[in-house]
């Protein structure tokens, strides 16, 4: 499709061009569980009058000019074209609770969508699938439109808090957990030591990132993916955590954070699962490397989006895809180790990562490849890193209070993405005291994601018990 003569529209950003490549075609799926029946008329009306449809990305077509360059072209929205109504009957098996049935049906539906159903380029690149029987809406958005923080902020602008129907919910305010900057005041000796550590670890981690692009890769395990795995059939399961349990573990390890606990849970859970799948096949301490996404914005507030819509300035709001990668090494350890030791190891690793510019380096090396060599070259670099590591992980902070959409309370928020050559991807969203982690797997490699989810849940329970015993 080509734009009208003399009206080329707004150029697609470099990151957007990368995500729009046919080889990549990355789509975000956000599952929104609702307490009551979905009123389709009020839902359509809420979205039609929301900031979402005032945002240029959500009311524009992807077009290409005569030179093959992609642009966003403003168009009129037919809201009905973006809604797909699905009737999935409830499971009649007596062994399933309503919540179990909803999880099963929604996860199966998203797993099928993630491989077999691309978004149509004849309309703006988003749609809403409504599973009426399960009281669940699945928002599908092309990654070229924005990243997790951008889209979460825009989604919350449609919602209201349960306690105050006029109040827009907010994300955690203030500065993000920074990778590469420290704000503590110390003496000159401490400052010099910190600078030297930052330089040393930055060089080491950035060199490791380059080597991952070139040839260094994880040793093969039963959960390894690789070239072409992004096209394999998928299964999806959900691991559920309580934030209060994570805080209990955090308090048992000096100066630990929730992220330290989370990465410790991943390390412990993967060790448990590998013990189950391939006992005695792995060496103690074998590295299993993930790719973790890091938000590079200074702030995560809704005011950024409001300002962008007022002055049409993406540079102030930093809308779009503004994230970098860090390599996230986890290590296989036998089940008989102290559960809290996983958290201590994770904390030591994360503390070092925080002193470096690794995430910024990964972002800028991709941006440089896009600018000098084009999206194909940037895709190859990104793809090689993914093929040489084992899993993907992201963590998006959601609202701490219960929120509503069209006065219907939201019971859960869950996210996952498609088209990644890892056989294991994990995306976590925290919401109202809970954290749900979507575990997407290539089912021919990891046939039992429900058991893997239980390994993660059991790991946190065991850490909580160890923390209580240590008091």
Residues identified as active-site? 143
Block residue for tokens 């670890």? 201
Alpha helices (H) in 278-405, listed in sequence order? 303-311, 314-317, 339-354, 358-373, 375-387
Q: How far apart are CA 287 and CA 218, in angstroms?
A: 7
> For residue 469, with 0-12 CB atoms within 10 Å meaning exposed, 13-18 middle and 19 or more buried, which class applies?
exposed
Q: How far is CA 184 from CA 181, 188, 311, 350, in A?
A: 10, 12, 35, 17
Half-sphere exposure of 112 (CA within 13 A, CB side): 7
The answer to whether residues 460 and 249 touch, using CB atoms and an 8 Å cutoff, is yes
> For residue 111, with 0-12 CB atoms within 10 Å meaning exposed, 13-18 middle and 19 or more buried, which class applies?
buried
Q: How far apart are CA 278 and CA 445, in angstroms?
A: 13
> For residue 400, with 0-12 CB atoms within 10 Å meaning exposed, 13-18 middle and 19 or more buried, which class applies?
middle
Report which DSSP code applies to 324.
E
Buried b (16+ CB within 10 A) or exposed e, 335-364: eeeebbbbbebbbebbebbbbbbbbbbbbe
Q: How far apart are CA 207 and CA 288, in angstroms?
A: 18
Six token digits for residue 12 = 């697609």
Q: How far is CA 430 from CA 104, 250, 437, in A?
A: 20, 16, 9
Strand pairing report for 403-405 and 323-331: unpaired
Q: How far is CA 395 from CA 47, 330, 390, 398, 428, in A?
A: 26, 16, 17, 10, 5
The answer to whether residues 47 and 79 touch, using CB atoms and an 8 Å cutoff, is yes
Where does residue 406 fall: left (phi above 0), alpha (psi -120 to 50 degrees), or beta otherwise? Answer: left
CA dihedral 118, 122, 125, 131 (to 10 degrees): -60
């Amino acid at each position: 499709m080509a734009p009208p003569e003399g009206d080329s529209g707004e150029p697609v950003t470099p990151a957007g061009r990368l995500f729009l490549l046919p080889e990549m075609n990355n789509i975000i799926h956000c599952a929104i569980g609702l307490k009551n029946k979905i009123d389709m008329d009020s839902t359509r009306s809420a979205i039609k009058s929301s900031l979402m449809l005032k945002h240029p990305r959500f009311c524009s077509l992807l077009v290409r000019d005569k030179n093959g360059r992609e642009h966003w072209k403003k168009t009129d929205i037919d809201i009905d074209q973006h809604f797909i109504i699905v009737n999935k009957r409830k499971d009649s098996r007596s062994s399933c609770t309503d919540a179990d049935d909803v999880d099963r049906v929604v996860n199966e539906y998203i797993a099928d969508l993630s491989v077999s159903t691309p978004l149509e380029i004849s309309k703006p690149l988003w749609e809403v699938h409504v599973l009426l029987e399960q009281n669940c809406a699945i928002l599908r958005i092309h990654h070229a439109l924005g990243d997790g923080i951008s889209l979460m902020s825009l989604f919350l602008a449609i919602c209201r808090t349960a306690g105050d129907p006029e109040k827009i919910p907010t994300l955690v305010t203030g500065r993000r957990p920074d990778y590469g900057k420290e704000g503590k005041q110390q003496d000159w000796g401490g400052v010099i030591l910190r600078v030297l550590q930052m330089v040393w670890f930055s060089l080491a981690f950035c060199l490791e990132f380059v080597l991952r692009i070139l040839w260094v890769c994880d040793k093969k395990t039963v959960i390894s993916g690789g070239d072409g795995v992004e096209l394999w059939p998928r299964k999806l399961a959900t691991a559920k955590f309580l934030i209060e349990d994570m805080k209990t573990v955090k308090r048992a390890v000096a100066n630990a954070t929730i992220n330290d606990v989370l990465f410790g849970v991943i390390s412990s859970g993967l060790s448990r699962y590998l013990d189950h799948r391939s006992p005695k096949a792995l060496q103690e301490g074998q590295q299993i490397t993930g790719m973790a996404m890091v938000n590079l914005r200074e702030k995560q507030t809704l005011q950024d989006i409001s300002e962008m819509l007022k002055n049409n300035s993406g540079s102030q709001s930093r809308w779009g895809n503004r994230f970098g990668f860090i390599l996230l090494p986890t290590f296989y350890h036998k089940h008989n180790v102290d559960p809290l030791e996983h958290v201590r190891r994770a904390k030591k690793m994360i503390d070092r990562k925080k002193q470096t510019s690794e995430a910024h380096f990964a972002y800028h090396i991709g941006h440089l490849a896009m600018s000098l060599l084009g999206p194909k070259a940037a895709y190859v670099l990104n793809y090689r890193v993914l093929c040489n590591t084992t899993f993907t992980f992201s963590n998006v902070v959601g609202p701490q209070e219960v929120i509503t959409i069209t006065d219907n309370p939201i019971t859960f928020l869950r996210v996952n993405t498609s088209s990644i050559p890892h056989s294991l991807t994990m995306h976590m969203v925290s919401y109202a005291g809970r954290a749900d982690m979507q575990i997407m797997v290539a089912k021919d490699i990891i046939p039992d994601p429900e058991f893997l989810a239980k390994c993660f849940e059991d790991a946190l329970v065991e850490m909580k018990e160890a923390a209580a015993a240590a008091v």
